[in-house]
Amino acid sequence: MSTTRRRFLGAGLQALGAATLGVTARSAFGSDKAQITATELAPGVTLLAGAGGNVVAMHGPDGSLLVDGGYAANSKPLLRAVAHATANDRVKTLINTHWHPAQTGSNEVIGRAGGLIIAHERTRQYLSRAVSSVDYEGLYGPLPPVARPAKTTREGGSLAFATHQVDYGYLPAAHTDGDLYIHFPELNLLAAGGPVCADGWPLLDYRNGAWLGGLVKAHEKLVALVKPDTRIVPANGRLLTGAELARHHQMYAEFHERMVGYLIKGWDSGDAIADRPLKAFEAQFGDPTAFIRGAFTSLNLAYAPD
């Protein structure tokens, strides 16, 4: 192992030992023995799963690019897998799709090693304070300044990495209120982040700006961006295609209309759950009770009078 790589991984261990976060639910899960699986998406581009969320790693001439970083407890095995997959001793650039613990757990390690962290401005703000969420119990943050994004955006941007163009854009109020997608147009590849799920229901963090209408709009925006055969990396689970994403958009749009109808009738979330508006999709995506309850709550918050 090279001296540079030893320094990089050693800094990671020190940063993990120094982290003091108050998260107590599923975001605290993970271990330095986590099993990370790797799937090659293109030469020099790898999908890594098992750290808490899907991670995309890309080889670069002087360091790798990473989309999301898993839970902090899984950072050590993840970064070992990144080094192996990319043949890079350091992560040069990390893009957070949003601020949840499963996406930002490697921020401190990478930041202390000199990596550039990019995210939406709202992500930087969230990581600068202690925050509660629908995603976990307790509080997450604040992360130390070195673990917060040094480069932020409000609408989106692009960068050249190795020989590839990397575009990123904002998905307002979709999964949080600071979601980014990352598009690799030359590779026909999209990392969609939290709003997109493969075989389960997405989480709407309505405590932090997300609502059902934002989820529908996010899918609409992404569908317009991709092709039917585009490979979509969701927050968790298997790869999707652009064609599958379009079907998801239709499902959520129809569900949104139905939920608004429930509100007009004066129904509560229990009535909506009992009506089973997503019955046709339960076999594929599982029990939608929590999703319906969250969607109903988000609509009530979105439509509450000022």
User: How far is the C-alpha of 111 from the C-alpha of 105, rounded, in Å?
Assistant: 11
| pLDDT of amino acid 34 | 84
Tell me, what's the pLDDT at 257? 98
Residue 306, pLDDT score:
58
- CATH 3.60.15.10 correct for 3-243: yes
Distance of alpha carbon 266 from alpha carbon 261, whole angstroms:
9
Looking up tokens 């990473």, which residue turns up?
66
Task: State residue 27's pLDDT score.
Answer: 37
At residue 53, the pLDDT reads 95
Give the per-residue pLDDT at 15.
Answer: 39
Helix, strand and coil content of the chain, in percent to the nearest 5, comes to: 40, 25, 35
Query: SS3 sequence, the chain?
Result: CCHHHHHHHHHHHHHHHHCCCCECCHHHCCCCCCCCEEEEEECCEEEEECCCCCEEEECCCCCEEEECCCCHHHHHHHHHHHHHHHCCCCEEEEECCCCCHHHHCCHHHHHHCCCEEEEEHHHHHHCCCCEEECCEEEEECCCCHHHCCCEEECCEEEEEECCEEEEEEEECCCCCCCEEEEEEHHHCEEEEECCCCCCCCCCCCHHHCCCHHHHHHHHHHHHHHCCCCCEEEECCCCCEEHHHHHHHHHHHHHHHHHHHHHHHHCCCHHHHHHHCCCHHHHHHHCCCHHHHHHHHHHHHHHHCCC
Residues of the chain with pLDDT under 50: 1-30
- Model pTM score: 0.89
Measure the CA dihedral 9/151/126/115, to 10°: 0
